[in-house]
Amino acid sequence: MNRFIRCNCGELDTQKIDFIDGNINIEQVHCPLRGSGDCQYENVICNPKRTSVLTTRQLQIAAALAEGLTPQEVSDRLYISIHTVHNTIQAIKVKLNLKNTSQIITWYNNFEL
């Protein structure tokens, strides 16, 4: 974690906040090893690639929300805790860079399976 913070949030900047509501603002910080082939962490810890592909469970929860179910109803239907539902909703928002559940529903309704 220390290496991740140093490689992605380590520079002093005044334009961006590094952590907002549990989300990390990954930025390209100066590194003398980047691009030289000498850093074993390049594109792994340093400047990681984010995936926007949702897991099967995340798609199930997005689909249930799109049906109009509440998080508690999703929890009951999938036999998982309400905390898991909330955590998964947060993970979906982070992966897709969305701000709220309404945007998840809109994304899912426009998503082609």
Q: Which two tokens stand for residue 25?
A: 């603002």
Residues 42 and 69 in one domain: no
- Among the candidates 10, 26, 49, a domain finishes at 49
CATH code of 91's domain: 1.10.10.10
Q: From the CA atom positions of the chain, what is the Rg in Å?
A: 18
What's the whole-model pTM score?
0.56
Residues 45 and 60 in one domain: no
For 33-84, the DSSP string reads TTTTT--TTBTTTBSPPP--PPPHHHHHHHHHHHTT--HHHHHHHHT--HHH
Residue type, 10: G
pLDDT in tens, the chain (113 residues): 666 666 666 555 555 555 555 555 555 566 666 666 777 776 666 666 655 578 999 999 999 999 999 999 999 999 999 999 999 999 999 888 899 999 999 999 987 55
Residues 42 and 78 in one domain: no
Cα 80 to Cα 113: distance, rounded to the nearest angstrom: 24
Residues 101 and 62 in one domain: yes
Residues 11 and 28 in one domain: yes
Residue type, 18: D
| The total number of structural domains that make up the chain | 2
Residues 38 and 74 in one domain: no
- Among the candidates 16, 33, 49, a domain finishes at 49
Q: Can you give the residue range of the structural domain that contains 101?
A: 56-110
Residue 39's pLDDT is: 73
Residue 48's pLDDT is: 61
With CA atoms as reference, report the closest residue to 6 among 38, 39, 35.
39
Residues 45 and 62 in one domain: no
With CA atoms as reference, report the closest residue to 24 among 45, 54, 39, 53.
45
Residues 70 and 35 in one domain: no
